[in-house]
Structure 1
Amino acid sequence: MALWMQISQQLPHLTNQTLNELYPDTFPIDVRHYLANWIEEQRWEDFDLDNAEQEPLARRLLDQMLELLHEVAFHNPNVVERVKLQHISRNMSVFQTQPMQLVRTVRDILRKERHLLGQPQMQPFQQIPAQINGTTQPPREASNHDVDALVLKVLDIQTCRQQIHQLQEELNWEKQEAEPMQGQNELDATHPDQVTKQNRITQLDYNYQVCAKKRVQLLQEAVCSLEQCQTRLIQRIKSWRWEQLRSTIGLAFDDNLVPLQTWCEQLLGVNSNLRQEVMLVKRDHGSAEHFHQLEENLNRLLQTLIQSSLVVEKQPPQVIKTQSKFSSSVRYLLGEKMAPGKPVVLKAQIITESQARNLGQGVIPTENVGELINSTAILEHNTASKSTCATFRNMSIRKIKRADRKGSESVTEEKFALLFTAEITITGCESPYIVQMISLPVVVIVHGSQENNAMATIIWDCAFSEPNRIPFVVPERVPWSQMCEALSSKFMSEVQTSRGLNGYNLHCLAQKIFDKDISGDFNNMPVSWAQFNKEVLPGRNFTFWQWFEGVIDLTKKCLKAYWSEGLIFGFIGKQHLHVILQNKPSGTFLLRFSDSEIGGITIAYVGPSESGGRKIQNIQPFTKKDLDSAGLGDRIRDISCISHVYPDLPKDEVFKKFYTVLSPPHPDGYLPFKLTTVVDPTQDQPFQISAPLPGGPFSPSYPVDPTVPQMYPPFYGENMDFIYHQ
C-alpha cells in the first residue's frame, strides 16, 4: 500500500483531467482507495495479455476484487459510501466477459501512478507529518488506510478458514472413499488406484496443514496490526484533548469528533471479528497456549478501546463560581454499539488535583471534596448526528472543600476537575465496563473578584503544561518565547482579531515583566509564575497578568476595530516612545496602552514646551467607562492639539469613519447634545463639556460657557523631561 500512500498525498494537487485519465469510469478511484493493499500485492506485471490460458487467473482476481468490495461495503458505517461501493461493484461486472481487460486497466493505473511520483514537480508536495509539542501525529487519512488494511486482513483470515473447511471436507471424503479400496487391495500396495488415492490424501493433508499454519500466522499478524492501529487511535484522542486544552489560549482546534468515532467503531468491529476467529480456531485446533494469548490480547484491547472512548465534548467553564449554574456535555464514541435496554447514567463529581493523579493508578476517589448538584445525566443517542451524549445543563457547585495550601499559595491557584463516570455494556460483551474521564482543570472561586487571578492559573496551565502529564503538573518557569506565543494567541483570540502582537509590543512586554531594559536575544530568558501573576509590578498595586488582561478587556469591548486596522500602537515603553516621536512635528500622536492604570489607553503626542521647543505629553488614559460615554474616534476629533497619527497620517482621514454623525433635532423640541473632549496644553486644562449640537431650531445664540467643571486632570504620568528645542 506504500504506492497509494504516496499518490494519495498528491491527489489535491492533480487536475481533474489528470484524475479522470488516471482512474477511468470502469475503475473508479474509490476501488483504488479501499483495496489499495490487495491491489499492490497482486502480480499484475506477470500477466501476458495475449495469452488466453491466463484468463482463468484474471477471472479469479476479478472475483476476489468483487468479494472484497462487498465486504468493505458491508463493514462501512457510512450509508452513502456503502451504497456507492455496492453500485461500483455492480458496474465492474463489465469485466466478467473480458477479465484480461481488468488486468490491463489496473496495470496501467499502477504504471501511471509510479510515473507521476517520479515527476520533479511533484516533489514539493510531499507531506510532513504534523507535530504537537514534538510528538508526530498520524494524518487522519492514514487512519482510513490502517483500518482498510485491517479489514482486508480479517477477510484473508475468513477466506483461509473457508479453505480449511473445504479441504477438511475433501479430505474426509477421500479417506472415506479409500477405506473399501484398502480392504480389497491390502495385499497389493502398488495398486494404481490405491496409490493415486493415497497421494491425493497426502496432498490434501499437506494443503490442510499449510492453510492451518497460515491461518494462525494471519491471526497473529492481525492482532498485532490491531494493537498498533488502536495505539494510534488512542494517541489521536489524546491529541484531540490536548488541542482542546490549548484552545483556551486561542490556538486552533478542530472539534469534529466524527472521524474519531468512525475509527473507534471500525476497530470495535475488527476486534469482534478477530475474537470470533480465535474462538473458531480454538474449536478446530484445540486450546493451545498461543491461542489463549491471542484471546487475552484481544480482550485487553477491547477493554482499553471501550474505556478510552469517553470524551468531554463541551468542557465546563475553567473558572467556576460557587452557587452559579454551568453546563457541560460528554460524548461516548461507541454509543451506537452500546447494548440496548437499561439507560446509561453518567455521574459527575468534583475531585482534587491529588485525586486526579491517583486515577492513573486505578484509585477511585472516595472522599467527597465538593457538593455538586444536578450531577447526573443520561447518555442519549441522536439519530440525526449519530452521536451519543450526556448533557449536564444546570450543574452547580454548592460548596467546596479546600486542601491545605503550601506557603503563599492562594485559593485561586488550587486546581480541581470534574470526574465523569458510567457503567457501559457493549453489544456482544458479557460484562459491563466502568468508563471514566476527567475534565480540563478548573479553579473554583466564591467571589467575582477572584476571577482574574483564577484565570491566570488556567492560562498558565493551558499554555505551558506538557502532553501526557501527571495531572495537573506545570513548570514553575518557562522561556520568554513560549510566553510570547501564549500572550499573542490569547490576545488575538479574546479580541477576535487577526492582528497579533508585533516585535515592538513583545519587547515592551518583556521589559515590563522582567523590570529591566532588554537587548539582544532574550527568547530563552525564563519567566516565572511569580513574575506572571504573584508579584506586583514595580511601583504598582497589580500583577503583570492583571494589567495585561485589563488591556485585552478594553480592546475587546471598545477598541477592536482600531486595533485590527493598526491604528493603535499598543504596547510601547517610554524610551521607545521618545525615539520614534523625537523628530516628529507638533501634533503628531500615537495611541498606547496605559502603564499605570488597568484597562486604559492614552494619547501620547508632541506638543510645544514652555521654552518654545517641543515635548512629549500624555493625556490621562481613557477607560472603558470613558469610551462608553464618548468613543475614541470622537475624542480624537475633538482634541485640537493633535493632528497627525504616527507616522504622518492626517487624523481626519484615518479616524473619520469612527466619528459620530450629528443627530437631527429631537421631534419633541429638545436639543440633542454631545460630549466634547477638550485639551488645552497652555492652561493645563482638559475639558469634557456638554453642549447643544449646532443647526437645530433652538440653538442658543450665545457661546458655550468654558467654565464647565473639568473631568480629568491635565496630563497623565510622570513629568516628561525630554524637551525638544526648535
Structure 2
Amino acid sequence: MAQWKHMSQMIQCLPHDTINDLYPPNGFPIEVRHFLADWIEIQRWDDFLLEKVEQESQAQTLLDQTISMLQSIALQNDNVVDKMKLTKISGNMTKFQQQPLHFAVMVRDILAKERVLLSMSTQMQSPPQFQQPQNRESSFNNMQDVDYLVLKVLEVQEIRKSMHQLQEELNWERQNYEGLQGPIQQNGMDPTQSEVLKLQTHIQQLEYNVKAMATKRFQLLNECVDCLDQCQTRLISRLKAWRWDQHKATIGQPFDDNLDLLQTWCEQLLGVNGKLRQELMLIGEPIPELKERLGTLLQVLIQSSLVVDKQPPQVIKTQSKFSTTVRYLLGEKVAPGKPVVLKAQIINELQARNQSNVPGDNVGELINNTAVLEHNTSSKSTCATFRNMSIKKIKRADRKGSESVTEEKFALLFSTEITITGCDTPYRIQMISLPVVVIVHGSQDNNALATIIWDCAFSEPDRVPFVVPERVPWKMMYTTLNSKFTDEVRTKHNLDQYNQHFLAQKIFDKPDFADDFSNILVSWAQFNKEVLPGRPFTFWQWFEGVMELTKKYLSTYWSEGLIFGFIGKQHLHLILKDRPNGTFLLRFSDSEIGGITIAYVSATENGGQKIQNIQPFTKRDLEIRCLGDRIRDINHITYLYPEFPKNDVFKRFYTEPQASSSRGYIPVSLLTKVGTDTNSDTSPAPTPLAESPHSAIDFSVCPDDMDLDIDTILETLHQ
C-alpha cells in the first residue's frame, strides 16, 4: 500500500481531468484503487500482455476477486453513499467478463502511470540540474525523464482513442439527425421541435469536443517531440561522456564500462519515436514539420548507438594479432533476416576529420577486418568481435620537421548498413576507435605510448581529430603521471609532494628551483622529444622505466610506503644529514632507466658523515635476487629512514635459505656485497661487487671427499 499512500497525497494536487484520465470512471474508478489498495499492490499485474492469450484465465481470476471484494466491502460498509457507489461499480465491472485481459492490462498501466507521476513529483521537489551526466545514477535520473515522456505518449494515445469514440458518436448522431429531417420535410412538421433542437445542440457539442481534443492532441504531440528531442540530446551527451571516460581510462582514471543502462535508454527512445510516428500517421492529415523532426531524431539515434565497447590496443605493431569489440545498443531492434556485417578500415588523421568522405583502404591493409553483429541472449548485448585482426602494412603521411613515426596517429573506422524493425529504409552507421599509433618494431613501443598518453591526458572533448595542445601546465602533467603510475602499479599510494617537486625539477632541468612549478608550462618536446641533460633518454622513457620496474618487482614495497621514490640529491642530503650511520632510504635511479638505488649514511675517515649511493638494481638484478634479500645482505644499512630497524620492516620479504641438496652437494647461495669506500666525499660511490655486479657466491669449505659441483654454480649464475 506504500505506493497508494504517496499517490493519495499527490492526487489532492492533480486536476480533476487528470484524475479521471488516470482512473477512468467507466473502467477502474478511483474508489476501487482506494478500497483495494493493499490487495492490488501485491498482485503481479506487470506480467500481463494483451497478446498472451494464455494469461486469460489468470486475468479472469483477478477480475472475479476484484468484483467479489468490492461487493463484500459494500455489504460491510456503514456509509450508505459508499455502499451504493461500490455496489454500482462492482456491477459495472462485470462488462470486463468477456475481456479479462483488457482489465488486467488496464490495471497494469494505471500502476505504471502512478509510478511515473510519483518519480516526477520527487524530481519537482528537487529540480534536476541538466548537466552532462557523469555516472550511472545520473543516467537513471535521465531515464526517469524518459518515463515521463512515455506517460505523455500514453496521454496522446488516450486522446486519440477518445476522439475516435467521439467521432463515432458524432457520425451516429448526424445520421439520426438526417433521419429526422426527412419526415419533417415530407410532413411539414415544425423543425423547432425540442427533439430536433436537442439533437442539434448535442451534435454541436460533439463537434466542439472533437475540435478541442484535436487541438489538444496536436499540442501534446508537439510537446512529446520536444521532450523526445531533449531526452535524446541528453542521451547523446551521456554516450559522449562514456567514450570520454573510456579515453581517460588509458591514463588510469576510473571508468565504468557497463552499457546496459544506456542500451535501455536507447531502446526506450526508439520505442517512443515509433509510437509518435504512428500517432502522426493516424491523424490522417500531414504535419511535415513533426514528421521531419522525428525522422531526423530517429536517424541520429540509430547512428549514435554504435559503440566501440572494447578498444583495440592503442599501440599496434604491424604483423601482430589484436582484437576489438563493437557493440550496437539497438541490437534487439535490428530487422531479422540478412546478417549485419561490420567492416573495419584504418584511417589517418586527415580522414578522421572527414569521416563522411572516407575512401577505401588506402592508408593501410587490415587482415580479418570483417565481423558479424551477433546477439547474446544471456547478456542482452549485440556485438561484433574482431578476434584476429592484423595490420599488414601502413602508408604514412609526409612528416613535418623532426616529427617521428611514433607521433603519427591513426584510428580504426567501423561501418555497416543496418535496418531497424519498423523502419522502411536502411541506415549507414559508423564509429571510429580511439587514436592508435602503428609501429613496426618493439623498440618503438615506449615512444608510441608517450604519444598516446599525451593524447589521452590533454585532448579536449569534441576536439577535431586528433588535435592536442603543444604545452600544458605542470599540474596537469603531474596529475597524469600520478594517475598512470598508481594505475599501472595497482596501488593506492600516490606520489607525494616531494616526488612531484623532484619530477618537475627533472623535466624542467631546474635542480635548484624551490618554488611552485604548478602553472609553468611543460611541452611535448620536454616530455618525450628532447633527451634529459647529460642522459641518452627522454623524461618519459625514464619515468616509464621506473613505472615498469615498480609494477613488476616493487609494487608491495611501494604500496606500504617503504620506497621514498623520486627524490633529488639536495633533498636527499637534507633529510639524511643528521641521521645516524646506517640510516638508508630507497629511491629511483636518476641516471639510468628502470633502476632503484639505496642511499645511506656512512662514516668518513675523520669521524664525519657522508651519503653513499649503491649502484642501482635493475630488472635483471631483481629477477636474480629480490630487493628484500639484497637489503638483508648489506650490513652497512641498518635503519630505514627515519628510524625503523630494517629487519623489522623487511623481514617478511626475506626468502628462506634453500635446504641441502638431496644429491649430497654443498648448497650455493648468492649474496649482495658492497665495496668499502675509504676515500673522501668526492670519490666514486661504493658499488656492489661480484655477481654482475651486485652478488657474490659464498662457498663453504669443501670436505676432502667431496668435489665442488661447478655445473650447479654456473647454472645458478646464469639464472
Structure 1 length-normalised TM: 0.80
8 Å CA contact 1:570, 1:591 repeated in 2: yes
User: Counterparts in 2 of 1:306-705, with a 5 A limit?
Assistant: 306-359=302-355, 362-366=356-360, 368-516=362-510, 517-682=512-677, 684=686, 686-687=688-689, 688-692=695-699
Output the CA distance in 2 between the equivalents of 1:71 and 1:461: 52
The structural deviation recorded for 1:690 is: 1.1
Output the CA distance in 1 between the equivalents of 2:603 and 2:638: 13
The structural deviation recorded for 1:73 is: 6.8
> Which of 30, 35, 38 is matched with 1:58 structurally?
30
Could you list the per-position Cα deviations for residues 638-671 of structure 1 after superposition, in whole angstroms to 9, with x for gaps in the alignment? 1111100001000000000001111111111123
8 Å CA contact 2:307, 2:326 repeated in 1: yes
8 Å CA contact 1:662, 1:693 repeated in 2: no
Output the CA distance in 2 between the equivalents of 1:160 and 1:114: 23
8 Å CA contact 1:137, 1:236 repeated in 2: no
Query: 1:320/1:73 Cα in 2 relative to 1: closer, same or farther (>3 Å)?
Result: same
User: Counterparts in 2 of 1:52-201, with a 5 A limit?
Assistant: 58-59=30-31, 139-185=138-184, 188-201=190-203
2:268 is aligned to: 266
Query: 1:266/1:127 Cα in 2 relative to 1: closer, same or farther (>3 Å)?
Result: closer
8 Å CA contact 1:603, 1:618 repeated in 2: yes
Could you list the per-position Cα deviations for residues 177-207 of structure 1 after superposition, in whole angstroms to 9, with x for gaps in the alignment? 1123234446634311111111111111111
8 Å CA contact 1:441, 1:472 repeated in 2: yes
Could you list the per-position Cα deviations for residues 570-605 of structure 1 after superposition, in whole angstroms to 9, with x for gaps in the alignment? 000111111111110110000000000100000011
Query: 1:341/1:510 Cα in 2 relative to 1: closer, same or farther (>3 Å)?
Result: same
2:104 is aligned to: none
2:296 is aligned to: 300
Query: 1:659/1:465 Cα in 2 relative to 1: closer, same or farther (>3 Å)?
Result: same
Output the CA distance in 2 between the equivalents of 1:55 and 1:277: 24
What secondary structure, in the 3-state scheme, does the structure 2 residue paired with 1:139 have?
helix
What secondary structure, in the 3-state scheme, does the structure 2 residue paired with 1:469 have?
coil
Output the CA distance in 1 between the equivalents of 2:366 and 2:521: 39
1:715 is aligned to: none
8 Å CA contact 1:138, 1:236 repeated in 2: no
Aligned length: 641
2:234 is aligned to: 232
What secondary structure, in the 3-state scheme, does the structure 2 residue paired with 1:568 have?
coil
Output the CA distance in 2 between the equivalents of 1:157 and 1:349: 45
Output the CA distance in 2 between the equivalents of 1:90 and 1:670: 91
Query: 1:689/1:115 Cα in 2 relative to 1: closer, same or farther (>3 Å)?
Result: closer
8 Å CA contact 1:129, 1:138 repeated in 2: no
8 Å CA contact 1:330, 1:391 repeated in 2: yes
The structural deviation recorded for 1:266 is: 1.0
What secondary structure, in the 3-state scheme, does the structure 1 residue paired with 2:460 have?
coil
8 Å CA contact 2:599, 2:612 repeated in 1: yes
Query: 1:491/1:428 Cα in 2 relative to 1: closer, same or farther (>3 Å)?
Result: same
Output the CA distance in 2 between the equivalents of 1:130 and 1:488: 28
What secondary structure, in the 3-state scheme, does the structure 1 residue paired with 2:396 have?
coil
Output the CA distance in 2 between the equivalents of 1:428 and 1:409: 51
What secondary structure, in the 3-state scheme, does the structure 2 residue paired with 1:655 have?
helix
Query: 1:533/1:626 Cα in 2 relative to 1: closer, same or farther (>3 Å)?
Result: same
**Identity across the alignment (%):** 59
Output the CA distance in 1 between the equivalents of 2:704 and 2:124: 81
Output the CA distance in 1 between the equivalents of 2:155 and 2:703: 93
Query: 1:391/1:40 Cα in 2 relative to 1: closer, same or farther (>3 Å)?
Result: farther
Could you list the per-position Cα deviations for residues 513-569 of structure 1 after superposition, in whole angstroms to 9, with x for gaps in the alignment? 111133343312111111100011111111000000000000011101100100000
Output the CA distance in 2 between the equivalents of 1:115 and 1:395: 50
8 Å CA contact 1:327, 1:395 repeated in 2: yes
Output the CA distance in 1 between the equivalents of 2:408 and 2:170: 73
Amino acid at match of 1:164: M
What secondary structure, in the 3-state scheme, does the structure 1 residue paired with 2:353 have?
helix
Output the CA distance in 2 between the equivalents of 1:325 and 1:115: 52
2:76 is aligned to: none
Could you list the per-position Cα deviations for residues 346-369 of structure 1 after superposition, in whole angstroms to 9, with x for gaps in the alignment? 10100001100011xx22334610
8 Å CA contact 2:346, 2:361 repeated in 1: no
8 Å CA contact 1:588, 1:642 repeated in 2: yes
Query: 1:327/1:697 Cα in 2 relative to 1: closer, same or farther (>3 Å)?
Result: farther
8 Å CA contact 1:129, 1:136 repeated in 2: no
The structural deviation recorded for 1:40 is: 9.0
Query: 1:54/1:278 Cα in 2 relative to 1: closer, same or farther (>3 Å)?
Result: closer
Query: 1:431/1:116 Cα in 2 relative to 1: closer, same or farther (>3 Å)?
Result: closer
8 Å CA contact 2:324, 2:387 repeated in 1: yes
8 Å CA contact 1:131, 1:137 repeated in 2: no
What secondary structure, in the 3-state scheme, does the structure 1 residue paired with 2:617 have?
coil
Query: 1:250/1:668 Cα in 2 relative to 1: closer, same or farther (>3 Å)?
Result: same
Amino acid at match of 2:586: L
Output the CA distance in 2 between the equivalents of 1:60 and 1:204: 30
The structural deviation recorded for 1:312 is: 0.7
What secondary structure, in the 3-state scheme, does the structure 2 residue paired with 1:509 have?
helix
1:722 is aligned to: none
1:42 is aligned to: 14
Note the aligned Cα RMSD (angstroms).
Answer: 4.1
Deviates more, 1:337-346 or 1:519-528: 519-528
2:278 is aligned to: 276
Output the CA distance in 2 between the equivalents of 1:552 and 1:90: 69
Output the CA distance in 2 between the equivalents of 1:350 and 1:498: 37
Gaps of 5+ in 1: 1-22, 48-52, 703-707, 712-726
Query: 1:129/1:189 Cα in 2 relative to 1: closer, same or farther (>3 Å)?
Result: closer
Query: 1:656/1:115 Cα in 2 relative to 1: closer, same or farther (>3 Å)?
Result: same
The structural deviation recorded for 1:609 is: 1.4
8 Å CA contact 2:136, 2:261 repeated in 1: no
Output the CA distance in 2 between the equivalents of 1:366 and 1:147: 40
What secondary structure, in the 3-state scheme, does the structure 2 residue paired with 1:569 have?
coil
Query: 1:397/1:136 Cα in 2 relative to 1: closer, same or farther (>3 Å)?
Result: closer
Detail structure 1 runs of 4+ shifted over 6 Å in the superposition. 38-41, 44-47, 53-56, 60-63, 69-76, 89-92, 97-103, 113-118, 126-132, 135-138, 696-702
What secondary structure, in the 3-state scheme, does the structure 1 residue paired with 2:166 have?
helix
Amino acid at match of 2:595: G
Output the CA distance in 2 between the equivalents of 1:70 and 1:185: 58
Query: 1:73/1:269 Cα in 2 relative to 1: closer, same or farther (>3 Å)?
Result: farther
What secondary structure, in the 3-state scheme, does the structure 2 residue paired with 1:616 have?
strand
Output the CA distance in 1 between the equivalents of 2:666 and 2:425: 79
Query: 1:54/1:428 Cα in 2 relative to 1: closer, same or farther (>3 Å)?
Result: closer
What secondary structure, in the 3-state scheme, does the structure 2 residue paired with 1:343 have?
coil
8 Å CA contact 1:72, 1:151 repeated in 2: no
Amino acid at match of 2:272: V
Amino acid at match of 2:199: K
Deviates more, 1:380-389 or 1:591-600: 380-389
Query: 1:685/1:594 Cα in 2 relative to 1: closer, same or farther (>3 Å)?
Result: closer
8 Å CA contact 2:369, 2:389 repeated in 1: yes
